[in-house]
A and B are shown apart, each in its own frame.
Chain A
Amino acid sequence: SQTIHQWPATLVQPVGSPLSLECTVEGTSNPNLYWYRQAAGRGLQLLFYSVGIGQISSEVPQNLSASRPQDRQFILSSKKLLLSDSGFYLCAWSGQARNTEAFFGQGTRLTVV
């Protein structure tokens, strides 16, 4: 069966520090991968998605970047965190078929102080 792992679960980082969140998927190949952010009391905002290794699409211009160095690995990064980067970050994967559902990791609670 397929599983998705996301870490760390919680993170407290000072303003201006770098960020690296990692997500890996097991049990499937060539998945679509996504990073979402959920700010407190708000809905989900799609940040990045990837349909293959090295292929990254950005939905919202921001202080973050994403990379996909391997088929089932998706990394969210920042060189210098801002206070506004605080939130709950969710990684997800879906199959390549049309109209298919996505499966989510457990999320990372990031607090920038």
Chain B
Amino acid sequence: GNSVTQMEGPVTLSEEAFLTINCTYTATGYPSLFWYVQYPGEGLQLLLKATKADDKGSNKGFEATYRKETTSFHLEKGSVQVSDSAVYFCALSRFGGSQGNLIFGKGTKLSVKP
């Protein structure tokens, strides 16, 4: 079946450090891949997405590349800020049917210290 596995948190970094959050997936067909961010007490916001192999999604300094050969969609940022502290979820779209459902990883909590 379809699934998403992302690295366990929490991840604690100093401001301006490099960030990588690993995400791998299992899916039939050709899903789209997403990163969502959840700030404390809020809902999820779409951070970036990629719809086909080799696509790179980017937003707010974050990037992730859809790697079909390694079934990965790792999230990266070159220099994190305190305001990036949040929980990050990797997700894929459920292939087929009309449900358009997303399958989420368990989330990775990021804390950035000044």
Contacts and interface: CB of A to CB of B under 8 A. Distances in A.
Interface string A90-108: 1010111111111111110
A43 interface: yes
B43 A105 contact: yes
Contacts of B101: 32, 34, 46, 49, 94
Given A32-B100, A43-B105, A101 B46 contact: yes
Nearest to B9: A41
A32 B105 CA distance: 21
Contact of B93 (A43, A99, A109): A99
B99 A104 contact: no
B51 A99 contact: yes
Instruction: Determine chain B's interface SS by DSSP, over half rule.
Output: loop
B106 interface: yes
Interface in A1-47: 6, 32, 34, 42-44, 46
B46 A49 contact: no
Interface string B93-104: 101101111101
A42 B89 CA distance: 11
Contacts of B69: none
A106 B106 contact: no
A51 interface: yes
Contacts of A57: 99
Contact of A43 (B30, B41, B89, B96): B89
A102 B95 CA distance: 14
B32 A100 contact: yes
B82 interface: no
B49 interface: yes
Contacts of B106: 42-43
A51 B46 contact: no
A106 B32 contact: no
Contact of B98 (A34, A51, A101): A51
12 contacts: A44-B44, A44-B107, A90-B43, A95-B100, A96-B98, A96-B100, A98-B100, A99-B51, A99-B93, A99-B95, A104-B45, A109-B41
